[in-house]
Amino acid sequence: MKKGDDDNFSLAFARIENHYFVNKGFFPKDSFLLDNVEKIRHINTAIVQGRYDACCPMMSAWDLHKAWPEAEFKVKRAAIVYVQHNVVPDAGHSANEPGITAELVAANERLKNLIKKREP
């Protein structure tokens, strides 16, 4: 059975998600992540953005990329860098969409390979 077909799961998921939306992700202000990017700049990161994401508009990813200039902004998969930005052309917000899932798995594989290269 798919989780979305389970009314109890759907209700619980909606409550949790809305709790975050109502509380603005528990950030003190909308620009908190951009204002504090220096605190996370050292972390290898992949930004995955769905082209049709209505919850997190493309401009949010672009603003993060501008604040984090090490980020490589590409519409398709790019070379391995510290931070990579992938726009998934046929996806929205959900990590369960095939395009988003594929990019998240690929990003984790790249990060795993970076860690392996650092190990003695």
pLDDT at 104: 81
pLDDT at 44: 82
Amino acid at 61: A
Amino acid at 63: D
Q: Which residues of the chain have pLDDT under 50?
A: 1, 74-83
pLDDT at 118: 86
> Is this model's pTM higher than 0.85 or not?
no
Residues counted in the chain: 120
In the structure encoding, which two tokens stand for residue 63, read together? 């603003």
CA angle 63, 13, 34 (to 5 degrees): 15
pLDDT at 85: 55
- CA-nearest of 110, 46, 108 to 83 is 46
